[in-house]
Amino acid sequence: MTSERILDIADSPAGLRIRHEQLVLKTQDREASIPLAELAVLVVSHPQVTYTQPVLAGLVEHGAALIVCDRRHMPAGMLLPVEGHHLQAERFDTQAHASLPTRKRLWQQIVRAKIKAQARLLDRINGKDFGLSGLVRRVRSGDPQNVEATAARRYWTALFGKGFRRNRDAEDHNRNLNYGYAVLRAAVARGICAAGLHPSLGLHHHNRYDAFCLASDLAEPFRPVVDGAVHEWVSRRGTKAAFDKSAKEHLLNALTARYNLRGEWRTLFDIVARTAVTLAHVFEGNRKALELPEI
């Protein structure tokens, strides 16, 4: 069974420990346990959470990602498994030596898939895609004309209105986007590690302060899953709604939902993991393109 549960500890002080391959969560009111094999991402938001060394070891041994949050309850750091695949050293080597044309071709595919996903979301919400579908064919290898940015300008305005700006520090529904993207990125990084690849060696992103550049790359086509959930929340609660437990649960429900992939209902974690495996196969020369589903 694919691990797919996301646990966010945000509401009260808690202590975490391991017992019989289970993560035990103890608060003042109750004690609960979750099999480590079922846990995909653990988000620690409350400032008074303690965990033992076996908790950290148990999480990474079972392939789960740990996200720790800052005083604003926004993700600030991430812990991932070091070993994820029996061919890891070999795949690290092929990844590190991937040619520039290969990386640029893969980035072209990722950007096209992202714009297609954005267009589908806008069409579902507004009945039209504001010309995004027409931009897809303009994306060349490596996206030298930065069609991605052109699409983004149309996309954000169409999705949230003319007054919206994508600002990571803004105290509006940008916080919802930040949180959703962070959890998505953790899930992607987890899939990358499971495929025997290194999350720091990106295809396009090369930010010296980003330790998970490849996760940022592969997450791009899946971001509209978060965007759609935030749009639904804002439509229901308004742009000034508090970023609280309910807002987080709404986002996590979208990230743990099942999506139709060629007639099969699969979790987003499963789909992301399959995408990472196909990337490893591209690096090894066994295929030409990623498997990027239309969600």
**pLDDT digit string (tens) for 85-108?**
566 788 889 999 999 999 999 999
Portion of the chain with pLDDT greater than 90, in percent: 63
The mean per-residue pLDDT over the stretch 116-134 comes to 97
Residue ranges in 161-202 assigned as alpha helix (H): 174-194
54, with CB counted inside 10 A (0-12, 13-18, 19+), is: middle
Beta-bridge partner residues of 19: 22
**pLDDT digit string (tens) for 138-180?**
999 999 999 999 999 999 999 999 999 999 888 899 999 999 9
Domains of the chain and any CATH numbers: 5-79 (3.100.10.20), 88-283 (1.20.120.920)
Residue ranges in 38-87 assigned as alpha helix (H): 53-61
What residue type is 292 in one-letter code? L
Check if the beta carbon of residue 56 is closer than 8 Å to that of residue 66.
yes
pLDDT computed for residue 82 by the predictor:
67
Non-local CB neighbours of 57 within 8 Å, separated by 6+ positions: none
Distances (CA, A) of 225 to 62, 110, 218, 272: 26, 15, 14, 12
Check if the beta carbon of residue 166 is closer than 8 Å to that of residue 156.
yes
pLDDT at 1 over 50: no
**pLDDT digit string (tens) for 24-44?**
999 988 999 999 999 989 999
pLDDT computed for residue 207 by the predictor:
67
Between the two ends of the chain, the Cα-to-Cα distance in Å is 21
